[in-house]
Amino acid sequence: MYNTITSLDEFNTVKNNYSGVLYYFSTISCSVGEALEPKVKRLIKEEFSKIKFYFVDIYLTPDVAAINSVFVEPTILVFLRERKRLEKVELLVFQICINLYKEFIKLYIDKVIFLL
């Protein structure tokens, strides 16, 4: 199981108590979010273990989503208190983007093959 944010107060408390937090905004009904989430969690665990992972359901906590300008699911926000870790977060975001791109291409190719 993972940590879930249930209120704006909890969101702010977590952000202020950890030097690195990744918030994964999605819903339980988002198939893309459900497919991507385990990959992001695995990447965090294996490559960026000092960053904490938190799930934010945008339907259950719309105030948290709105205050962070999150209107699309899934959305990933990373908060850092130390500037020197920025390079690692940029690498994390890059790796997530590469993984998304690979998944998209695979899905697209499967659909093209299916249509033919």
The class of domain 3-115 in CATH terms is alpha beta
CB–CB of 75/33 below 8 Å? no
Which pTM does this prediction carry?
Answer: 0.72
| Domain residue spans of the chain | 3-115
For 75-105, give the DSSP string.
Answer: EEEEEES-GGGHHHHHHHHHHHHHHHHHHHH
Taking only the tens place, the pLDDT of each residue in 36-81 is 888 888 878 887 788 899 999 999 999 999 998 888 888 888 887 7
CA torsion, ordered 85, 44, 58, 82, to nearest 10 deg = -10
